Amino acid sequence: MTERRWGRGDWGLYAATAALALGLALLTLQVWEADWAIPWSDFGDAIPVAAHFKTVLETGWYEHQPLLGAPFGQQYHDFPTAETTNFLMATVLGHLLGNWAVAMNAYFVLGFPLAALAAAWFLRVAGVSRLLTLPTAVLFAILPFHFVQGEPHLFVASYYVVPLGLVLALRTARGEPLWGWRRGTTHPVGRWFGRGAQTVVLAIVVGSTDTYFAVFTLIMLATAGIVAVVRDRSGPRFVGAAIAGVLIIAVMALNMLDDAVYGWQHGRNDGAFERMPEHAEYFAFKLAQLLLPWPGHRIPALADLREYYDTRFPLPSEQPALGFVAAVGFLILLGVLIHRVVTARRRAALGERGRTLGLLAVLALVAFLFGTVGGLGSVVALMTDVLRSWNRILVVIALLGLAAVALAIDAGLARWARAADPGRAVRRTVAGLLVAALVLIGVLDQTPGTNAHAATNARFLGYDDYFGRIEASLQPGDWVVQLPYQGFPEAQTATGTDVNDVLIPFLHTTAIGWTGGGLRGRPEADWTEVLQSFPAEEIPAIAAAAGASGLLLDRLATPEEQLDEWSDAFAAVLGAPLESEDERYWFWSLDAVPPARVAAVSRHALDSLLQGREWSP
């Protein structure tokens, strides 16, 4: 089967698809109640995402932030990632909009029309009509996954790259070439813009956007290549898919080359990027989760049903859900597989839609086998624990399911038109009703009906005022010791608070440094863990001797017994603290430490902070 050619009407289709997806995003996110200059999520992983946006605006790139991990600076090379496209988008938006929070929110919103556009292209490649492409592409853009991941996992929520990878997989599965010159032209330049050029561009984008989605693309490409070999004995198609896969891997490696070089120069740091093999099952999905309503459903009874399941049944994972329409499509694909097996000996010749549905069904089954609890993702985890959130492959299943629904409706409409021969006006009316019904079902089923803008704004502005007062009391270039030590990233804290909260002060200041945020595993990042092992009454003087100008105590992150000891000792030396409105933070200026006590700090004590190395910030 050959994919649908680009037609003049496709320009209008893509424009309408992007506009509708953007409009629904703005509507469901209730942006009129939001402040674009304040992150719309301020918890969990949204905090380091915000720190990345702030860092690229201040420094030009995300790998080094001198105001974190003070006084040595934060080096992100110990947490290798291939997400260059996302960081480029953060950089461009940050400089265009002039505010890191506005850029972060804008990228989140931009992900909706980008996902719709990419999905529309895949659906057209799959043979879906223009009529059904618009609503199903929009439903892909507003998947529950988009809102569940949200700004805390902004780069995962920016899943517009998934349809691009599936285009490569579907072309391979059909037996179409991934490589070659542009046909129908003799112009020496024009010949370069053929399938081969498309494949190169798609591989670069896929390999530079998100590691998970790149791996999912590799899995789909491998599956499609095997299908081509088994069905058509098409070795060249498998080789073409393999070359595309190698190119994706090479792009990923190139994106992480500077991280590898840093590791060779400074030694390997296993502490910063620590995963466990069993996480592959904690963060997988179950079939019931995919089919059930998502946790943020607008209908309370359905939201309660999901909450009941997630609280009573084990392994809630990242609360994966396909949404009603995509779930129906997934069941259709499973039905197609069963039908093909049952009727294998008496199978009639399949039409184009039937063949495409069969290929989509195979891809969906393989994706399910990797994402499910105890599936192939767990097998991979026995070899490498780099990937753990296999439930995210549901985005692949969702798009394949939506394509199945669209193809099934297309087939039904074609059969109805042949049998009933309705007039043009009737066909247009039915078409309009179908599009409206699909979009309405998607909005009601897949999007949230509430927001937390008011609470988020109040909390952010409160911290803005508090840390602004701290910054005003210090000089540019000063830095503050944060206690207790919290290993960043992804470490457990003694009281159960989120370790990402250690970055909160940084988000609200511009010219002073903070000891939190250094990537754990190196002495330069972990030195405050040594500092807090000293007697409480000695900590202020040692911190001052190290060059710090202030001390910030996170009371929520401090065990109660230690909190009592520290608060009494610090108050005795430094006086009353500056307290945040929510009573979480206490700040002391280290100017109150008697100079004699600072001078009495031994060189041995300072060097011990770096585990015996000379203290030389």
Among 224, 236, 238, 203, which Cα is nearest to 356's?
224
Q: Residue 103 half-sphere exposure, CB side, CA atoms within 13 Å? A: 25
Encode pLDDT of 388-444 as tens digits.
Answer: 999 999 999 999 999 999 999 999 988 887 877 777 788 788 888 999 999 999 999
Q: What stretch of H or E contains 483? A: strand 479-483
pLDDT of residue 613: 83
Beta bridge partners of 586: 553, 579
Task: Report yes or no: 303 and 325 within 8 Å, Cβ to Cβ.
Answer: no
Question: For residues 40 and 450, what is the distance between their CA atoms, to the nearest angstrom?
Answer: 13
Q: How far apart are CA 212 and CA 391, in angstroms?
A: 10
Euclidean distance between the first and the last CA atom of the chain, given in angstroms as a whole number: 64
- Residue pair 476/469 in contact by the 8 Å Cβ criterion: no
pTM of the full predicted structure? 0.94
Residue 385's pLDDT is 82
Strand 479-483 relative to strand 550-554, pairing: parallel
Query: Is 1's pLDDT higher than 50?
Result: no
**Inter-axis angle of helices 100-125 and 8-28, nearest 10:** 140
Q: Which of 444, 523, 445, 511 is nearest to 474 (CA)?
A: 511
Residue 362 neighbours by CB under 8 Å, 6+ apart: 173, 223, 227, 337
Q: How far apart are CA 13 and CA 404, in angstroms?
A: 19
Given a cut of 90, is residue 183 above it in pLDDT? no
Taking the C-alpha atoms of residue 488 and residue 480, their distance in angstroms, rounded to an integer, is 17
Check residue 490 and give its pLDDT: 85
Q: What's the pLDDT tens digit per position in 456-504?
A: 999 999 999 999 999 999 999 999 999 999 999 988 888 999 999 999 9
pLDDT, tens digit, 9 for 90 and up, residues 339-389: 888 886 555 556 888 899 999 999 999 999 999 999 999 999 999 888 999
What is the spatial distance between Cα 406 and Cα 123, in angstroms, rounded to a whole number?
8
Q: Give tens-digit pLDDT for 229-285.
A: 988 876 788 899 999 999 999 999 999 999 999 999 988 888 777 778 899 999 999
Model pLDDT, residue 430: 86
Count of beta carbons in the 10 Å neighbourhood of residue 254 = 14
For the CA atoms of the chain, what is the radius of gyration?
Answer: 27
For residues 408 and 470, give the distance between their C-alpha atoms in angstroms, rounded to a whole number: 62
Distance CA 563, CA 559 (A): 6
Q: What are the tens digits of pLDDT across the range 521-543?
A: 999 999 999 999 999 999 999 99
Task: List the structure tokens of 449.
Answer: 């009906």
**Residue appearing with tokens 């990878």:** 165
| Percent of the chain whose predicted confidence (pLDDT) is above 70 | 95
CA 281, 156, 159, 294 torsion: positive or negative?
positive
Element (H, E) at 565: helix 560-574
Alpha helices in 175-317 (DSSP H): 195-209, 211-232, 235-255, 257-266, 279-282, 287-291, 300-312
547-568: buried (b, 16+ CB within 10 Å) or exposed (e) per residue?
A: ebbbbbbbbebbeeeebeebbe
Q: Tell whether the model's pLDDT for residue 602 goes beyond 60.
A: yes
Choose among 363, 292, 361: nearest CA to 321: 292
Q: What is the dihedral of CA 317, 323, 324, 327, to 10 degrees?
A: -60
* Nearest to 165, CA basis, from 244, 251, 283: 244
Range in 181-195, 341-355, 505-519 with the lowest mean pLDDT: 181-195
Average pLDDT, the chain: 92
In the chain, the percentage of residues whose pLDDT exceeds 90 is 81
Q: Does the pLDDT at position 189 exceed 70?
A: no
